[in-house]
Structure 1
Amino acid sequence: MKKLASALAVSASLAVASPAMAIDNLNWDMQSTYPGSLTQLGTLGKVLSERLNAVSGGAINLTFHEPGAIVPALETFDAVASGAVQAGWSTPGYWTGKDSSLALFAAVPFGPRASEYIAWMKFGGGQELFDEIYAQYGIKSLACGVIAPEASGWFRNEITSADDLKGLKMRFFGLGAKVMQKLGVSTQLLAGGDIFPALELGTIDATEFSMPAIDLKLGFYQVAKYYYFPGWHQQSTIFDLMLNKDEWDALDEQTKAVFETVCDAQITYGIAEGEAIQPAALAELQEKGVNIKSWDPAILDTLRSAWDEVVEEEKAANPNFARAWESLSNFREQYKIWSELGYLQ
């Protein structure tokens, strides 16, 4: 009887301990497309690494690597897909050269606010489509952060009409770049750390990048003094943790749940922090002589018309884009009644 009691006690203790022991011990590399010191864009990646380690009791070590530490920032997609690194910290909008539909899971011109966007991703079919498209490239991606509206451009001179944009060379992100091209702007995608030197040297005439608190840190105000709002091209922006799909598929369910839960927490953290830090940044920019401007409604109408053209072209060219656009549009149409009734317009 004593032996039986002892055996039962050991079995019970193992049963209690087993859930914690089930988490895979991981030592993975995460290549970031953003410097770790860059407000939100980079710091959220570092917070993610720290929280995964803490929540897993030290079992998950996801090492944050600065841009270029393993591969250049804009080669992160290929590095994760090939398994050269297990993970990447980025935004899907950087990979439109791979598949234009990925931009719809990052930032949508004239698109939804953060709450509506995440609602589509989590409960409107967005994540399922996201999984299907990324799986074609050997990647599993988790939405792991969202930030509020961005500014839509730094310019050396005031923009009084759409004609003032013609001929400019401008750094621009995602689908918004295709819209600006319709207006005669020559666009290129530059990683964050490459923008200021290009602006200072005159390689580009203008740029957009992110929110006031982030743009302030990068010093664009030293070269361009006209700063335009609203961010018609990025009313909200989703960031993601890219994972090599084979590595992800090999994880046990508990380990996957840790990743998913921490990423959900990051979404709350990111939007709250982003909203809190903008007023002080705007005040500091004004003190530095920045002219904070709002787009003329006529210019916004021109941009919206150009966006409508881009949508039709992308739908015709890419079946993945057409499917994702239909899903998002249907969700937004259904959501509209709640948006109009529930929120002040």
Structure 2
Amino acid sequence: MRTFAKSMLSAAVLGTTLAAAATSSLAADRVLLKTPVAFGTNLPALGTTITWVADRLDKVSDGSIRMKIYEPGKLVSPPEILDAVSSGKVNSGYATAGYWQGKIPAAALFSAVPFGPEAGEYMAWLYYGNGMNLYQEMYDSAGYNVKVLPCAILSPETSGWFSKPIEKPEDLQGLNMRFFGLGASVMEKLGVGTVQLPGGEIFGALEKGAIDATEFSQPAIDTRLGLNKIVKYNYFPGWHQQATIFELLVNKDAWNGMSEGQQAVVETTCMASVTNSIAEGEAMQFPVMADARQNGVEIRYWNQTMLDTFSEKWQEVAAEKSAEDPFFKKVWDDLSQFRQGYDLWESNAFLPRKQAN
């Protein structure tokens, strides 16, 4: 991650806004957000973020807003969260929009985009470009009765755990691999059979040989799942997920029933959570990677041929999905235009990326 991630810690100034919003929320009815989540809260950064949000909502609102978290599958299964929130079965839910790409193709663009944007650029587009307008429009136009709030963001993931070195595109052909989001479409173009398994099922699938390789998340999270015990070649960079957005969905009727102060508390807490989540994720990776290396994991950086191949296939996927779905094209065009402008800033403002050791 670029140094932008560190500067995000200045978001502490949001505390003033939170305090003011909390004062006005005291006069409103109390709100209980019943929130099924897509990721176990035992998973660092991936799952602990929403528990941080729940704690802060209670404290900042002086108890006016409380959140009860339901672990994956306890109240609603992860794939059903969007429908459950929209219908009012639950009044909120926490997941990532990439889970809905089968229903809403453009949803994947609000989750993780191959070859960027990175976290800072992604947030710039969301909050100060046209991203948030398009994000809400996507759900509205698809008929979902939800208010969407970005509520966490993770910096790059690892792009795969393999049992053998991958030196050329042909080495991927015929592999069965757990893969997420738009990156899965890229891998399929390279002859990989992909499946999207929940985190808790990946270890068993690898152990039994049901899949040959996998990607899931960041090193600290992957290690918690024990992936390093079965496959030893861990590839970087995470070209498929340079940053991943996680969303809090709130039923619109429930949202409209909150006071303006309560809405501001939820919105600002989620913005603060974006800062907290990326800081937590950035801080915990290198000790885990160092330990993994000492225990036989080979940390590898994709060679240029592989990166160029992934990029070429991603451009094909983006063009195909834009041709298939008008709203995907609308979002992709807007994001691409923003990124073209951002390139002027990025190419001049940042130091060159350090080479992998």
TM-score (norm 2): 0.90
Cα deviation code 1:257-315 (max 9, x no counterpart): 00001001001111111111111010111122111111111011111110010001110
Measure how far apart 1:326 and its partner are.
Answer: 0.9
Counterpart pick for 1:256 among 239, 243, 263: 263
**1:319-330 matched pairs, under 5 angstroms:** 319-330=326-337
Residue aligning to 1:299: 306
Counterpart pick for 1:165 among 147, 172, 177: 172
**1:189-208 matched pairs, under 5 angstroms:** 189-208=196-215
Name stretches of at least 5 consecutive residues in structure 1 with no aligned partner.
Answer: 1-16
Residue aligning to 1:32: 37
**1:28-107 matched pairs, under 5 angstroms:** 28-107=33-112
Residue aligning to 1:4: none
Measure how far apart 1:250 and its partner are.
Answer: 2.4
Contact 2:25–2:262 (CA under 8 A) maintained in structure 1: no
**1:139-154 matched pairs, under 5 angstroms:** 139-154=146-161
Larger radius of gyration: 1
Q: Matched residues in 2 for 1:58 and 1:50: separation?
A: 10
Q: Does 1:279 align with 2:258?
A: no
Query: Secondary structure at 2:158's aligned position in 1?
Result: coil
Matched AA of 1:252: S
Q: Matched residues in 1 for 2:257 and 2:64: separation?
A: 16
Deviates more, 1:98-107 or 1:20-29: 20-29
Contact 2:38–2:72 (CA under 8 A) maintained in structure 1: yes
1:20 and 1:88, CA in 2 relative to 1: closer, same or farther beyond 3 A?
closer
Measure how far apart 1:24 and its partner are.
Answer: 3.3
- After the TM superposition, list the runs of 4 or more consecutive aligned residues in structure 1 that deviate by more than 6 angstroms: none
Q: Matched residues in 2 for 1:75 and 1:57: separation?
A: 31
Q: How many residues align?
A: 329
RMSD: 1.3
**1:219-234 matched pairs, under 5 angstroms:** 219-234=226-241
Measure how far apart 1:18 and its partner are.
Answer: 7.7
Measure how far apart 1:255 and its partner are.
Answer: 0.9
Identity %: 48
Query: Secondary structure at 1:160's aligned position in 2?
Result: coil
Name stretches of at least 5 consecutive residues in structure 2 with no aligned partner.
Answer: 1-21, 353-357
Residue aligning to 2:325: 318
**1:9-24 matched pairs, under 5 angstroms:** 19-24=24-29
Cα deviation code 1:64-92 (max 9, x no counterpart): 11001102222222221221111111111
Q: Matched residues in 1 for 2:83 and 2:154: separation?
A: 25
Deviates more, 1:307-316 or 1:284-293: 284-293
Q: Matched residues in 2 for 1:184 and 1:22: separation?
A: 59
Q: Matched residues in 2 for 1:245 and 1:199: separation?
A: 41
Q: Matched residues in 2 for 1:23 and 1:179: separation?
A: 49
Query: Secondary structure at 1:243's aligned position in 2?
Result: strand
Query: Secondary structure at 1:326's aligned position in 2?
Result: helix
Deviates more, 1:315-324 or 1:135-144: 135-144
Contact 1:22–1:254 (CA under 8 A) maintained in structure 2: no
Residue aligning to 1:11: none
Measure how far apart 1:126 and its partner are.
Answer: 0.2
Matched AA of 2:198: A
Q: Matched residues in 2 for 1:19 and 1:161: separation?
A: 59
Measure how far apart 1:20 and its partner are.
Answer: 4.3
